[in-house]
Structure formats: structure tokens, C-alpha cells
A and B are shown apart, each in its own frame.
Chain A
Amino acid sequence: MFKITPCGVEGCERPAFSLESLCYRHLKDYPERMQKSMQELQAQNIILNRVFDDASLVGLDFSRYRFVGCSFRNVKIQQSMFTGTSLHLCFLDHSSFVSCDFSGSDIDFCSFGTSAFMDCSFENSELIQVNFDGSSLVDCTFSGSNLYNSRFLLCDLNTVSFDNCDFKRAFYIPSKEVKVTFSGSNIAEAVRDLEHLYL
């Protein structure tokens, strides 16, 4: 599991990046150093217990990588590929994902709580026990995915496709939904109101 090391600058409470001793605010040449750290990570197939909180990442290709026990909270990720990527026990809360491809991914026991997704694809993915509570999703697709035991509570959904999805044991109580489609999905199996909670 990741370990939070505070930034080396006295008085700074932000977490330091893995492979560095400072946070993004205090890291000199931040974009270059970040890119270098990412390249070091890309040389590995399994990325274990890393912290990249508050990072801003553009144009990465993490297709078919395996992330375990990592923290990517408050990150901004744009135009990046996570195709066929496996994420287990990872925390990507309060983040922003723009034009990212998670299709064919295997995401298990992870949290994307209160994150914002725009133009992202989770098509044909295994999303088992994934937390999307409080997230905002615009122009996204989950079509063909297994959403077993995942949660979509108080989400703001606009133009989202859940076609051919498996909603078994999923919790689906969004706060706002516009143009959401469920064609061929077993949405009736999802917990959709508070009267059916048995926890």
C-alpha cells in the first residue's frame, strides 16, 4: 500500500511524489521532472505503491500496465491511454480526466470518488467494487462493462452510455442524469433507491 511522505519543505503539508522528496509546488522544473518520473514508471510493467497526488499529466500511455496500491488523488490527466490497464486498490479521488481511454480495463476495489470525467471511455471493462460517488461524467461510455458492486451515488451524469452493462449489486442513485442510456443492461438489478438497502 502507498505511504504518504510529507513534502521535504518545512511547513508544507502536501504529499511528496514517489521517486521525489518534494510535492509539485516545490519541485523545480516540475513538468520535466514529472515526465522523467513517468518514463521511469513506464519502464516497469507493475507499478506498486506509488504516490502521484496533485500531478498534472498529459499524453501518457499506460496501456496494459498494472497499478497496485497507488494514490493519484487530485490529479489532472488529459489525453492518456489506460487501455487494458489493471488497477487494484488505487485511489484516484477528486481528480479530473479529460479524453482518457480506460476501455478493456480491469479495475478492482478502487475509488474515483468526486472526480470529473469528460470524454472518457470505460467500454468493455471489468469495474468490480469501484467507487464513482459524487463524480461528474460528461460524454462518457461504460458500454459492455461489468459494474458488479460498484457505486454511482450522487453522480452528475450527462450523455453517458451504460448500454449492455451488468449492474448486479451496483448502487445507482445519481443526483442528476441527462441523456443516460441503458439499452440491453440489467439496470433493474441495481439498487436504485434507499428502500432497498440491506447493509
Chain B
Amino acid sequence: MKVYQHYSIFGFANSYIVGNEDSGKALVVDPAELTPTMIEKIEQHHFDVSGILITHDHTHHINGLSTIMKIYSPTIYASDAKLLGFQCRKVRDGDIFEEAGYEIRAIAVPGHSQDSIVYLLAELFLFTGDVLHAGLIGKTNSTFNTNALIARIRQKLFSLPGNTVIFPGHGPPSTIATEKKANISFQEGFAEHIRSNYDFFV
């Protein structure tokens, strides 16, 4: 498996190319953009981009879709039916599908956005988008949503093995074991502490 991480200045977001040398196919996760360097990485290994995994519909995670769709003909997996006018294959919580020779499990973790979904690839690599970052969780628009997101992460993601690798939408990588020990959002009173900034409706 070849993983190439691209840091996009647009939204300071991470995009990933996951290539499978055996199948000759590649996945792109959250294409903030598609740069010449990314195309070079794909073409250098003669990969055919067969799938795009979208964790949520925020522009700085999907803006590269239009460029990718001009060059390749991948299936777009998302929990939305359409993104930037492109038809998506809708995935729901618990869906297991195969793409580029990898088994992928979709885990819905709404809170940061209603369509937030994370992907567990080969039972080891977790692409979390903005749901879970190194030391933090994604921003929500209310204390209620923050608490709900914390509960969902505890239930659905922290139950994964500790050595599961986290590839987030922003910032450095991490592991489930590290997040269980050192995520500031899981400290008592976190949601209440940030209430003034998050509660748009209060």
C-alpha cells in the first residue's frame, strides 16, 4: 500500500492518495485540490483512480473533485447523493464495500457536519476527515452537538484497536490509543468550556 499525503493551502486541509500496487488502482480521500504533484504521484506508479472517498461536504475537502473527474472516472463515495453536481454512491453507517482492492468500512459520525462519515481501510487506517484530529474533535455548532459527537466517537471509534492509524482532514496523524489518552476534547467540561464560541443559538 502506498499512501501519499498532500497538504493543501486551500483550507489547510489534508488530502490522501492510497495506491494499491497489486490492483494498480488508487483511492483519493477528501480531494481539497488536485495539484500537478498529486497527478505525478498517481501517474508515476501507473495508478488508475477508481474511487474517491469523501468524509463530508465542506468545500475545502471536495474542491478537487471537478479536476479529478475531468481526468479519471472514479466512483465517488459519500453520504451525500450529489456533490458539486457529480453523482455519488451513497454510503451509510456500517456499509462495507470494496474499492481499489481494499475492503472499506464506512462509519457515520455526524456532529461536525450532518453528513460526516469516516472510512476504515484494511482494518488499520482510519480516514477521519474533521470528526477526529490529533488531540481535538471537529467544530460543531452547539454544545449539544459537541457532546453528541464526543459520545459517538467514544462509542464508534474508540472501540477500534489502539494501533488503528488516524489520517485526519487537518493536522498531523495519530492513533486511536494516542487519542484516547491525549485528546483535549475528552477532558471533563470541554463542551461547556467552549460554549460561548460554539453556541450560535443561545
Instruction: Point out residues on A near B: beta carbons under 8 Å.
Output: 1, 3-4, 15, 53, 69, 73, 89, 91, 93-94, 109-111, 113-114, 129-131, 133-135, 149-151, 153-154, 169, 171, 173, 194-195, 197-199
User: Judging by beta carbons under 8 Å apart, are B175 and A169 in contact?
Assistant: no
CB–CB A129/B172 < 8 A: yes
Contact A114 B135 (CB under 8 A): no
Is B136 a contact partner of A94 (Cβ separation < 8 A)?
Answer: no
Q: Give chain A residues whose Cβ lies under 8 Å from the Cβ of B177.
A: 93-94, 113-114
A39 to chain B, nearest CB (A): 27
20 other contacts beyond A113-B179, A134-B182, with CB at 8 A cut-off? Answer: A1-B3, A4-B124, A53-B163, A73-B175, A93-B175, A110-B172, A113-B181, A130-B172, A131-B178, A133-B135, A149-B12, A153-B135, A154-B182, A154-B187, A173-B184, A195-B194, A195-B197, A199-B138, A199-B139, A199-B171
Closest to B13 in A: A199
- How close is A148's CB to chain B, nearest CB, in angstroms? 10
Question: Residues of B contacting A4 with CB < 8 Å?
Answer: 124, 163
Whole-angstrom distance between the alpha carbons of A129 and B197 in the complex? Answer: 26
A49 to B, closest residue via Cβ: B1
Leading 10 A-B pairs by shortest Cβ distance: A134-B182, A113-B178, A153-B135, A131-B172, A133-B135, A133-B182, A129-B172, A131-B134, A1-B3, A1-B1
Q: Is A133 touching B178 in the complex (CB atoms < 8 A)?
A: yes
Contacts between chains A and B (CB distance < 8 A), count? 113
Contact yes or no, A111 B175, CB < 8 A: yes
Chain B 114-141 residues near chain A, CB threshold 8 A = 124-125, 130, 133-136, 138-139
Are B1 and A131 in contact, with the CB atoms below 8 A?
no
Question: Once the chains are docked, how many angstroms separate the CA of A173 from the CA of B134?
Answer: 13
A129 to B168, CA, bound (A): 11
Q: Does B7 contact A (CB under 8 A)?
A: yes
A-B contact pairs, 29 of them (CB 8 A): A3-B1, A4-B124, A89-B173, A93-B175, A109-B172, A109-B173, A111-B134, A111-B178, A113-B175, A113-B177, A113-B178, A113-B181, A114-B178, A129-B173, A131-B172, A131-B173, A131-B174, A133-B178, A134-B135, A134-B182, A149-B171, A151-B134, A171-B171, A194-B184, A194-B190, A194-B194, A197-B139, A199-B130, A199-B170
